[in-house]
Structure 1
Amino acid sequence: MKILGVIPARFGSTRFPGKPLVSLQGRPLIQWTLEGAKKSKLLSDVIVATDDERIKKAVEDVGGKVVMTASELPTGSDRIHAAIQGLDCDVVVNIQGDEPLVTGELVDRLAQVFIDEPNMDMATLAHPISDEELQSPNSVKVVLNHNDEALYFSRYAIPYSRNTVEKMGSREGCLKHIGMYAYSKKFLKKFCEAPPAFIENAESLEQLRALYLGAKIKVIRVKEASLGVDTPEDLARLEKLLSQGR
């Protein structure tokens, strides 16, 4: 089984333009992600899928591989699908370009799903949720079945619509989703060729398209999320933590 890691990286981020090239302790953000992903023991290769020549140069300057993709692609999944056309692989791991602290071990936990269960469509990550995250619409919740497969994702505090956490005595009804995915190449094609689903548009969560299409999504439980960079403030916070040796 050939498992390919792909890092989608576009220059025109709405909240943080040029984010892949910003410096974190003297290295571009995309370099951090690339170096972390390359520590995987299960990936056959790692490529960066981008629409920008500046990102391409930054990756190639440190020995990375790049596939150029169109700027108008709507999502990271679409960018990955475009990048792997003609490439030999069975499974693709979507490694977010704004996760500079991603580890090879984390990537391998996603990849291992498809070695253990070759018929799985997708895999993703989640961790225990806090009270603050449960109430925040910016934190995506996932409810699981007994096989740790996703039943539903939502920005709302599911499944606590009737009985509260206090009444139930636990927050174990859901986990906080981490937006890192692995897909079978076959399912990624099906996903990207399908139109957005109604529930996907309603929640603004593309993973709901996968559930709408009948996908089995394995959810890997981890202790906590790595520190991602969505805004300049996130970058400054991470820079401070790294300088303190944390």
Structure 2
Amino acid sequence: MKIIAMIPARYEASRFPGKLMKNLAGKTVILRTYEATKQSNLFDEVYVVTDSDIIFNEITSNGGKAIKSKKEHESGSDRIAEAVENLDVDIVVNVQGDEPFTQTEPLKNLLQVFKNDTENKIDIASLKIKMEDLDEVNNPNNVKVVCNEDGFAMYFSRCPIPFARDISKAVYYKHIGIYAFRKDALLRFTKLPINQLEAAEKLENLRFLANGITVKMVETDQLAIGIDTLEDLEKANAIFKNN
């Protein structure tokens, strides 16, 4: 089974423009993410996939592998699909470019799902983490997921799900946006039109569910630190300084 990691990387970002090229303890955010993913030793290859010459040159000039997108894309999954279409690969892991503290254990658990899936019932695997803080639960930037008894996603939403008629019975899980795809499922997804649910919530994972693409959720207790704001970058620099 050939497994690769793809790191989609846009230069522009609405909340923090150019964040992937910001300085994080002497290296750029995107280079830190690339190196952390490589150092996990879980992948046959690691690539950054980007629409930006700046990011492409940053990775390749530091000895890394990068692929330049040929088209404009609505999502990171679409960008990755273009890049892997002609590659000989079985599993493709989408690692977020703004998460320089990528950790090995959650990724290893994600990949183990496919190694155990002898009947090929799983199209996609992704991560979830339990949420205890109700302010976090109610924050629409935190995507929630509910699963069936076998751990497959039933729905993703920016709203708190389930609705708690009895708060003592409610358990909430945050979706962590790292995906591991079977290559054929990824290519199939990108050929599907955006549906009403995805358009309403602005969540591409709802396109999976609406079209019968299975998403196996793997629970983790390790929350990745993303760089979405200047404050996040300052916190990340402090972590590097203290370590």
> Alignment partner of 1:108: what SS?
helix
> Alignment partner of 2:39: what SS?
coil
Corresponding letter in the other structure for 1:20: L
Distance 1:40 1:70, change over 3 A: same
Determine the structure 2 residue equivalent to 1:220: 218
C-alpha contact 2:10 2:52 (8 A) present in aligned 1: yes
Determine the structure 1 residue equivalent to 2:57: 57
Structure 1 residue 21 displacement after superposition: 1.1
C-alpha separation in 2, matches of 1:15 and 1:31 = 20
C-alpha contact 1:38 1:104 (8 A) present in aligned 2: no
Counterpart of 2:143 (choices 140, 143, 146) is 140
Structure 1 residue 99 displacement after superposition: 0.4
| 1:106 and 2:106 correspond | yes
Matches within 5 A, 1:27-106: 27-70=27-70, 72-106=72-106
Counterpart of 2:233 (choices 228, 235, 241) is 235
Structure 1 residue 178 displacement after superposition: 0.7
The Cα offsets for residues 121-153 of structure 1, whole Å up to 9 and x where unpaired, read as: 101111011212111111111001111111111
> Alignment partner of 1:176: what SS?
strand
TM-score (norm 2): 0.94
| 1:151 and 2:154 correspond | yes
Structure 1 residue 61 displacement after superposition: 2.2
C-alpha separation in 1, matches of 2:21 and 2:202 = 27
C-alpha separation in 2, matches of 1:43 and 1:116 = 17
Corresponding letter in the other structure for 2:55: I
> Alignment partner of 2:135: what SS?
helix
Task: Detail structure 1 runs of 4+ shifted over 4 Å in the superposition.
Answer: none
> Alignment partner of 1:187: what SS?
helix
Corresponding letter in the other structure for 1:132: D
Counterpart of 1:120 (choices 110, 119, 122) is 122
Number of corresponding residues:
240
CA RMSD of aligned residues (A): 1.4
Corresponding letter in the other structure for 1:38: K
Structure 1 residue 71 displacement after superposition: 5.7
Percentage identity across paired residues of the two chains = 40
TM-score (norm 1): 0.93
C-alpha separation in 1, matches of 2:56 and 2:199 = 32
Matches within 5 A, 1:189-204: 189-204=187-202
Corresponding letter in the other structure for 1:155: R
Determine the structure 2 residue equivalent to 1:25: 25
Structure 1 residue 119 displacement after superposition: 3.2
Unaligned runs of 5+ in 1: none
Distance 1:111 1:55, change over 3 A: same
Corresponding letter in the other structure for 1:216: T
